[in-house]
């Protein structure tokens, strides 16, 4: 029998080996539960694209389903297949592809597919014919984001093509959907305008004979702020991971949502140096007095942006500390002054913020970006470790 210590060595509560992203699956599942309450009677499609916003697509999807997500949303066919191969048979929808992609496996695996043009309807239904299985289609209308989706002008022809495929037994039109441009700016005039176009295009589709199971348009921001945008299904992504789509309003915190990711590393080297020493590439930081430097073994290849040079804060030796000098590919340095730090000590780069550590939102603000970019960029070299009880 293995000693208890060995069995526990992958437990996320233990100190990290080098660097790791600890994911609190209980937070994900609880966040989904809270979003479900927020959504009233609408279902929740938890968006798990981009490796579950960097948290790990399969564990994130499982935790979301445990929290009551009745759908999963992914961008790519690969992501859809990753979810299915992991044994998750929750309804799932996929929405981003280029001409010539192979839809066969996704259709065979019962993944719902978005279609935005007559050409896409044709390609997808040809695949359905090959596979010998009816494909469930969600027709996407561009209500004002000008990304994918049929323009209102093209909408009737896309609806018509889909209904013909349905009559041929190749497709079933189950969803009508769209996506907001400015839902994170409550009161932005485009929001009401997009809802108006969405309602009009739903009416066009219904008059043509579509009987959708679900109409959906709301991302996290709309789920939190726009009851009239819920329709049958909401599609939160960032809020599932406990991060705020509209940080200025602080709604996620008020609702009790909790950031699920903590990025931590252990000091690789600690040493005393004298005053006037240049630190890291380019000597962009120079010690002002004799001090202790700590080397943190995680860098821009791992998602610590090089723009964080002399800027980003991390939690080390009981305080927030600014990164000292240039962020390198694999490492950066912190200056802890006369506070004690040793090789092996833990540094928390960001987390939920409970212990005084910065949050991903804090990092985003320091860097002039959004928390989405912080968590999705944590690289493949950083192991994700999992803890927290899902519901």
Ligand X SMILES: *Cc1c(COP(=O)(O)O)cnc(C)c1O
Chain residues in the site for ligand X (CB under 6 A): 47, 49, 95, 179, 219-220, 235-239, 245
- The whole-angstrom separation of Cα 122 and Cα 100 is 11
Which of 49, 97, 241, 372 is labelled catalytic? Answer: 49
Nearest Cα neighbor of 218 from 227, 230, 232 is 230
Residue 68, token pair as written in the block: 């009551």
Strands 43-47 and 71-74: parallel
* Catalytic residue status for 319: no
Pick the closer one to ligand X by CB: 116 or 292. Answer: 116
272 a known binding residue?
Answer: no
Residue 186, token pair as written in the block: 């409550």
- The whole-angstrom separation of Cα 21 and Cα 23 is 6
Nearest residue to ligand X, scored by beta-carbon proximity: 237
Residue 175: strand, helix, or coil: strand
- The whole-angstrom separation of Cα 233 and Cα 211 is 15
- The whole-angstrom separation of Cα 306 and Cα 27 is 29
Pick the closer one to ligand X by CB: 219 or 280. Answer: 219
Pick the closer one to ligand X by CB: 236 or 353. Answer: 236
Task: Check if the beta carbon of residue 116 is closer than 8 Å to that of residue 158.
Answer: yes
Q: How far is the CB of 222 from ligand X (least distance, A)?
A: 8
Task: Check if the beta carbon of residue 197 is closer than 8 Å to that of residue 215.
Answer: no
Pick the closer one to ligand X by CB: 219 or 262. Answer: 219
Which of 207, 271, 281, 319 is labelled catalytic? Answer: 281
Pick the closer one to ligand X by CB: 220 or 390. Answer: 220
93 a known binding residue?
Answer: no
Q: State the helix-helix crossing angle for 57-66 and 77-85, rounded to 10 degrees.
A: 70
* Catalytic residue status for 241: no
H/E stretch holding 223 reads: helix 220-225
Residue ranges for the known binding site are: 147, 329
Residue ranges for the known binding site for substrate are: 147, 329
List residues with catalytic annotation.
49, 281
């Amino acid at each position: 029998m293995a000693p208890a210590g060995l069995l526990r060595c992958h437990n996320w509560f233990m100190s990290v080996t080098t660097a790791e992203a600890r994911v609190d699956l209980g937070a994900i599942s609880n966040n989904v539960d809270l979003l479900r309450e927020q959504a009233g009677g609408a279902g929740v499609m938890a968006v798990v694209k981009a490796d579950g916003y960097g948290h790990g697509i399969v564990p994130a999807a499982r935790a979301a389903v445990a929290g009551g997500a009745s759908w999963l949303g992914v961008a790519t066919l690969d992501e859809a297949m990753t979810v299915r191969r992991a044994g998750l048979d929750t309804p799932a929808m996929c929405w981003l592809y280029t001409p010539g992609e192979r839809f066969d496996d996704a259709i065979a695996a019962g993944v719902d597919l978005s279609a935005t043009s007559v050409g896409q309807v044709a390609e997808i239904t040809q695949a359905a014919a090959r596979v010998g299985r009816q494909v469930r289609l969600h027709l996407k209308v561009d209500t004002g984001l000008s990304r994918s989706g049929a323009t209102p002008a093209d909408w009737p022809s896309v609806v018509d093509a889909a209904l013909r495929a349905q009559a041929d037994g190749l497709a079933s039109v189950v969803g009508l959907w769209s996506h907001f441009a400015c839902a994170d700016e409550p009161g932005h005039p485009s929001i009401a305008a997009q809802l108006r176009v969405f309602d009009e295009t739903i009416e066009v589709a219904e008059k043509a004979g579509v009987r959708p199971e679900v109409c959906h348009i709301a991302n996290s921001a709309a789920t939190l702020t726009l009851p009239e945008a819920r329709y049958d299904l909401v599609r939160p992504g960032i809020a599932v991971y406990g991060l705020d789509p509209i940080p200025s309003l602080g709604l996620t915190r008020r609702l009790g949502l909790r950031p699920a990711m903590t990025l931590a590393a252990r000091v690789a080297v600690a040493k005393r140096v004298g005053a006037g020493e240049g630190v890291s590439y380019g000597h962009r930081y120079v010690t002002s007095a004799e001090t202790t430097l700590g080397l943190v073994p995680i860098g821009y290849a791992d998602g610590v942006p090089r723009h964080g040079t002399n800027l980003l804060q991390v939690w080390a030796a009981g305080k927030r500390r600014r990164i000292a000098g240039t962020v390198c590919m694999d490492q950066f340095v912190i200056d802890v002054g006369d506070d004690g730090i040793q090789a092996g000590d833990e540094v928390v780069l960001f987390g939920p913020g409970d212990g005084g550590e910065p949050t991903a939102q804090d990092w985003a603000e320091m860097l002039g970006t959004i928390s989405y970019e912080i968590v999705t960029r944590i690289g493949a070299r950083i192991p994700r470790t999992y803890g927290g009880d899902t519901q």
